[in-house]
Amino acid sequence: MKKLLAILFSLLLSFSTIVSASVSNAPIHWGFKKSSNEEPVEAGKEYDELLEKYGAFYKGDPKKKVIFLTFDNGYENGYTAKVLDVLKKEKVPAAFFITGHYLESASDLVKRMADEGHIVGNHSYYHPDMTTVSDERFYRELEKVRAGTEEITGVRHMVYLRPPRGVFSERTLLKAKEMGYTHVFWSLAFVDWYRDDQKGWQYSYNNVMKQIHPGAVLLLHTVSKDNADALETIIKDLKKKGYTFKSLDEYTRGEAMKDPIFKIRKRNK
């Protein structure tokens, strides 16, 4: 059986390689003009159409004051437990995108994320520029994180992927979609990942508040003490401004319901 599965995997990989060779692998570095005055960001028509083609997204509905809170976890720096405490206290869902290093060194926190109802997303095992790796390594980078997460949390399926370094291509969008992943980018971020260059909680707070906008996918790094210290105030003050926090699952489910196929199925029930 194992031999048969290996042969099937090899054939599938060969076919996938042929297909992916037909699309561009030119690297794209995710970026956009930052929001101000609560105006939703715009990545531009070209990026919008490319992401839509592969079911990827970087923001929610710009007409709804909803925030999707996400964290990138490359390694543990002692602040994730505090972040989880705040989320639990404020009843806010989040998504944590983890690497292999984080999976191995902070398995207790990964389990806690899942146990407390948060999404655990894939950030690749070794955090490479995914546009530079082979199709086989692309698969293994993601599958190793998924399998390791399942072993710790019991959650079999990983749905969301955030590309390491924010670098992607049409090829990597295609490869991820073939594996059942949805690329999740972001519409609000700032430089917060230098653990030896912390500026105080007000720095994090100010950067979030001045860029916030309806439908924001907010990216924070848990290595930042500033973020951990500011998070509770950020959440409380955004709630006062009329914002609510929702899970990525609620957004993707909402998008699926807009699909004509969904509407046909609903009518036929």
157 given a catalytic annotation: no
3-state SS, residue 79:
coil
Residues 169 and 155: their CA atoms lie apart, in Å, by 28
Q: Which of 72, 192, 226, 229 is catalytic?
A: 72
Q: Which of 135, 221, 226, 229 is catalytic?
A: 221
Residue 40 tokens read as: 């939703």
Residues 223 and 22: their CA atoms lie apart, in Å, by 39
- Under a CB-based contact definition with an 8 Å cutoff, are residues 150 and 156 in contact? yes
Residues 152 and 156: their CA atoms lie apart, in Å, by 10
Residue 69 tokens read as: 């809170």
237 given a catalytic annotation: no
The crossing angle, in degrees rounded to 10, of helices 170-178 and 135-153 is 50
How crowded is residue 136: how many other Cβ atoms within 10 Å of its Cβ?
13
- Under a CB-based contact definition with an 8 Å cutoff, are residues 198 and 226 in contact? yes
Active-site residue list: 72, 221
